[in-house]
Every structure is written in structure tokens, then in C-alpha cells.
């Protein structure tokens, strides 16, 4: 083997080893604490729900959309392992609508549709 081939192999092996050390040799990064981001998201959702409830009513489509967004942000928080103040965000209007009367009226009206 010639000297230039030996040097080429040593350089290639060194570069490969260096690359592997960067990928596998670095210490594990600590997970970021997402609690503040979670709280900020849910506070913004709460303010949006309050604003739309005062403008359009608690059972409006705007509030329903806001609650859906808050539910998505709750899922984001869960996915990032960030807990939140359940006593503040998981109550009343903020927790979602279970409007059984509205569903019953819709079903009742649907039963009386003409189906020819």
C-alpha cells in the first residue's frame, strides 16, 4: 500500500469516526419544560372563549370553535408532557359543550323531515 492510500484511508476513517461521535457520543439533551408554553396557550384560549361568549353567547359556533382549539392545545400540552391548572382550565364553558337539549331538538327535527 502506498503512503497516499494509507493517508487517504486514515483521513476517511477519522472523518467517519468523528461523525459517529457527533451522532452517538453527545450526551442526551434534557427535555425542555413546556409548562409555561402550555399555560400561555390555555390562557389565550380562555380569553378568546370569554370574549366570544360575551359577544356571541356561550352556545355560539364561535365559542364551540374556541373550545375545540383549547382541546387541541390541551392535547399539545399532553404530547409535550406539560401539565396545567385543571381547576382553572377544565371547568364549565372551557371544558366543552354537552348540549343534550340542542342534540335532542336537532334529532327531533330530523325525524320529522319528509323522506319520499
pLDDT per position as a tens digit, 25-78:
555 445 688 999 999 999 999 999 999 999 999 999 999 999 999 999 999 999
Whether the CB-CB separation of 77 and 38 falls below 8 Å is answered with: yes
Radius of gyration of the chain (CA): 28
Is residue 96 predicted with pLDDT exceeding 50?
yes
- Of 16-25, 70-79, 83-92, 99-108, give the range with the top mean pLDDT: 70-79
pLDDT, tens only, 97-111: 555 444 444 444 444
Q: How far apart are CA 69 and CA 83, in angstroms?
A: 17
Amino acid at each position: 500500500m502506498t503512503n497516499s492510500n494509507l493517508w487517504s484511508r486514515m483521513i476517511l476513517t477519522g472523518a467517519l469516526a468523528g461523525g459517529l461521535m457527533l451522532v452517538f457520543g453527545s450526551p442526551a439533551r434534557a427535555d425542555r419544560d413546556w409548562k409555561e408554553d402550555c399555560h400561555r396557550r390555555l390562557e389565550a384560549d380562555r380569553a378568546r372563549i370569554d370574549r366570544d361568549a360575551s359577544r356571541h353567547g356561550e352556545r355560539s359556533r364561535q365559542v364551540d370553535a374556541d373550545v375545540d382549539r383549547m382541546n387541541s392545545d390541551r392535547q399539545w400540552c399532553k404530547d409535550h408532557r406539560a401539565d396545567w391548572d385543571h381547576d382553572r382550565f377544565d371547568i364549565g364553558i372551557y371544558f366543552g359543550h354537552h348540549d343534550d337539549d340542542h342534540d335532542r331538538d336537532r334529532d327531533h327535527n330530523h325525524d320529522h323531515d319528509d323522506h319520499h
